[in-house]
Amino acid sequence: MSPVCPGAVPADEELARGLVAGDDDCLAAAYHRWSALVHALARRSLGDTGEAEDVTQQVFLGVWRGRHGYRSERGAVGAWIVGIARRRIADALSARTRRAGLVTSAGTALALADHPGRAHPEAALDRILIRAELARLPAPQRQVLHLAFYEDLTQTRIAELTGLPLGTVKSHTRRALRRLRSRLDDEFRPGPPLITHHYT
């Protein structure tokens, strides 16, 4: 089959056929045609240009990987791409909610442990677990979270202090929180108790 997209501006139907057939020039044409729309949707929903760029890349990676699932009878290729974008945006918002929940939980545990008179009995154990998991992180991720948790610095300020690009600070934060969440989920998964109390 001859290429559909090179040197031409294909109609949506031609572009879709070439994309399904594995013509990567059609993928490039699709990116050129719809990436600005996808980025605008992501930027409006997420409020962050960097995250919007990440989502846009994920969308078109998803377009390429899922191209065999496209069915023209179900709708235009542009609508299909927007549907993928909406799912990726929803995933990004869910991930942000999970990260925020972890930050809130960790911050609450540390705050309670720093004020013994107002702390719940579990706060000291929470603090020990969180500090232990922080210590297991790679040094750059640990530094970024330490500055965020203990110094209460914004990501922009952390970038200024460490000399790291803001995007790198955000990446370290996302990866570290994802790893912390995974480790803490393992710790608190139902199973044999970590500590047994004996009362006399």
Residues 31, 88: Cα–Cα separation, whole Å: 16
Q: Is 12-91's fold the same as 96-188's?
A: no
Question: pLDDT at residue 51 above 80?
Answer: yes
* pTM assigned to the model: 0.51
Q: pLDDT tens, 93-122?
A: 887 776 666 555 555 545 544 444 444 444
Write down the pLDDT at residue 38.
94
Most confident among 3-12, 14-23, 132-141 (mean pLDDT): 14-23
Please state which CATH number belongs to domain 12-91: 1.10.1740.10
Among the listed residues 100, 109, 129, the one whose alpha carbon sits nearest the alpha carbon of residue 187: 129
Domain boundaries of the chain, sorted by first residue = 12-91, 96-188
* H or E element at residue 182: helix 166-188
CATH 1.10.10.10 fits domain 96-188? yes
Residue 191 carries which DSSP code? S
CA of 85: how far to CAs of 32, 39, 91, in Å? 15, 9, 10
